[in-house]
């Protein structure tokens, strides 16, 4: 029984806490992630959980950072293998819609949920969520700008960013797993590719 573990063990514990936190958050929201609930599920004491972060807000920020990393790994990075412009744009969209359908979280895409949960509040969590979404918008806008076709870039961007949350809604609220396919078709329509 050694309360002080090694740095590697402490890091592993921290990762486990964050992983459990995003599972809970995807179901019940980031505010539903309470220290006591985490401690209970992990068989730890509350102070053991909180010691890794200091405050609940720091834990929430760490959870968002992990989700953003996962999004980058599953959606953005594979798309960078494709040529800039239309190919990369459609890869980003397709990866996004597949990821939202199956984000590896029991309650659906956490970034979609966090955007709605925090859009009416103030603070670091809201700012980090908004900034992550703004970067995603910028990435899509850049590829739209490189895509030839008879469309307005900002209008096309508005339409495409609508389809990700729409997939989340269809899957989580209605159990409709065909939504990703509809979203892929819709994205092609937006850029005038009847694919």
Partner DNA sequence: CCTACCGATCGGTAGG
Interacting residues with a copy of itself (CB under 8 A): 26-29, 31-32, 106-108, 112-113, 115-117, 119-121, 129-130, 133-134, 154-155, 158-159, 161-163, 165-166, 168-170, 172-174, 179, 182-183, 185-186, 189
The answer to whether the Cα torsion of 144, 145, 147, 148 is positive or negative is positive
Question: Binding partner of residue 139 among a copy of itself, DNA, none, CB under 5 to 8 Å per kind?
Answer: none
* Cα separation values, 27 from 21, 46, 68, 150, 193, Å: 10, 21, 17, 41, 36
Cβ proximity to DNA, 45 vs 178, nearer residue: 45
Cβ proximity to a copy of itself, 113 vs 144, nearer residue: 113
Select the residue interacting with DNA from 18, 21, 50, 132 (CB under 7 A): 50
By CB under 7 A, which span of 4-12, 67-75, 118-126, 142-150 interacts with DNA?
4-12
**Cβ neighbours, 10 Å, residue 40:** 12
Select the residue interacting with DNA from 21, 25, 52, 109 (CB under 7 A): 52
Residue showing tokens 């979203």: 183
Question: Binding partner of residue 154 among DNA, a copy of itself, none, CB under 5 to 8 Å per kind?
Answer: a copy of itself
Cα 93 from Cα 70, distance rounded (Å): 16
Show the tokens assigned to 71: 């999004």
**Cβ neighbours, 10 Å, residue 181:** 14
**DSSP, res 114:** H
Residues numbered 54 to 93 that lie near DNA (CB under 7 A) are: 54-57
Cα 92 from Cα 134, distance rounded (Å): 15
CA 102 to chain centre: 11
Select the residue interacting with DNA from 27, 28, 29, 48 (CB under 7 A): 48
24 binds DNA (CB under 7 A): no
Residues that bind DNA (CB under 7 A): 3-5, 9-10, 13-14, 33-37, 43-52, 54-57
């Amino acid at each position: 029984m050694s309360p002080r573990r090694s740095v590697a063990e402490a890091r592993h514990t921290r990762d486990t806490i964050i992983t459990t936190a995003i599972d809970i958050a995807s179901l019940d929201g980031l505010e539903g992630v309470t220290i006591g609930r985490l401690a209970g599920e992990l068989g730890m004491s509350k102070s053991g959980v909180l010691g890794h972060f200091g405050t609940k807000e720091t834990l929430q920020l760490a959870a968002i950072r992990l989700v953003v990393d996962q999004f980058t790994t599953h959606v953005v990075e594979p798309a960078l293998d494709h040529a800039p412009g239309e190919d990369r744009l459609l890869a980003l969209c397709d990866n996004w819609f597949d990821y939202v359908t199956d984000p590896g979280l029991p309650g659906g895409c956490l970034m979609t949920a966090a955007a709605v949960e925090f859009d009416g509040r103030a603070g670091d969590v809201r700012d980090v969520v908004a900034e992550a979404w703004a970067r995603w918008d910028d990435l899509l806008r850049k590829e739209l700008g490189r895509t030839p076709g008879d469309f307005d870039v900002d209008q096309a961007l508005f339409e495409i960013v609508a389809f990700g949350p729409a997939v989340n809604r269809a899957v989580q609220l209605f159990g409709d797993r065909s939504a990703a396919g509809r979203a892929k078709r819709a994205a092609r329509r937006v850029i005038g590719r009847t694919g």
